[in-house]
């Protein structure tokens, strides 16, 4: 893999830059048991694709949050899934051409501040991660989730990675966006790793 310095040398106008991005991993632990979260990264603004994904989450009784990104939408579920269900639900979402293992949670400049909550787990067929709920709600400046016996604390794990991005001077010309530093995560009740 090339170093950042060698990429700058290859790009003397410095029209691109690397920015730090924070992602939430799909794996979590509670009581020494491994669970998985289901994520969907939709790279289109097509509302019918969003509806199709939300219907899949609803048909599987998966509570989820969704929000608009620069390119499309993220749909993320705090429901705790065992490996077999997680793999089964991934197959239903395979048309998205997405890896399902990490979702970006650092916000980008220009993304809409609205977070939508869909309580599809009405009969609590799945336990839900209180830590996940509170993390996402804190990022979008909402209050913490109300206590419920079906919401349990889990250990969340994160990935920080570098993402290649156009420099801000070119963004106005090319229609891109500027990354901002992620907000510090509130550790209250999250069990953050």
Judge contact between 98 and 169, C-beta under 8 A.
Answer: no
Share of the chain above pLDDT 90, in %: 64
Q: How far apart are CA 18 and CA 78, in angstroms?
A: 30
The string of DSSP letters for 107-129 reads PBTT-----EEE---TT--S-EE
56-70, 109-123, 127-141, 177-191 — which is least confidently predicted? 177-191
- Alpha carbon 99 to chain centroid distance? 12
Cα radius of gyration rounded to whole Å, the chain: 18
Q: Is the pLDDT of residue 46 over 50?
A: yes
The pLDDT tens digits for 91-142 are: 999 999 888 899 999 888 788 889 999 999 999 999 999 999 999 999 999 9
pLDDT at site 44 = 94
pLDDT at site 184 = 52
The tokens describing 60, both together, are: 């599987």
Q: How far apart are CA 115 and CA 162, in angstroms?
A: 25
Under DSSP, is residue 75 helix (H, G, I), strand (E, B) or coil? strand
Judge contact between 37 and 132, C-beta under 8 A.
Answer: yes
**Residue 31: CB partners within 8 Å, gap ≥ 6?**
none
């Amino acid at each position: 893999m090339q170093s950042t310095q060698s990429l700058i040398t290859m790009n003397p106008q410095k029209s691109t830059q690397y920015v730090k991005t924070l992602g939430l991993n799909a794996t979590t632990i509670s009581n020494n048991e491994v669970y998985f979260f289901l994520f969907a990264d939709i790279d289109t603004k097509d509302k019918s694709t969003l509806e199709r994904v939300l219907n899949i989450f609803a048909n599987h009784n998966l509570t989820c949050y969704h929000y608009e990104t620069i390119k499309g939408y993220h749909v993320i579920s705090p429901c705790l899934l065992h490996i077999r269900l997680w793999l089964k639900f991934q197959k239903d979402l395979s048309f998205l051409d997405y890896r399902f293992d990490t979702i970006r949670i650092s916000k980008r400049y220009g993304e809409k501040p609205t977070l939508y909550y869909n309580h599809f787990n009405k009969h609590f067929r799945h336990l839900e991660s209180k830590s996940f709920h509170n993390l996402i709600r804190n990022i979008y400046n909402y209050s913490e989730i109300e206590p419920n016996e079906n919401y349990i604390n889990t250990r969340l794990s994160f990935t920080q990675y570098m993402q290649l991005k156009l420099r801000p001077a070119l963004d106005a010309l090319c229609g891109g966006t500027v990354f901002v530093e992620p907000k510090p995560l509130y550790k209250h009740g999250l069990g953050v790793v």
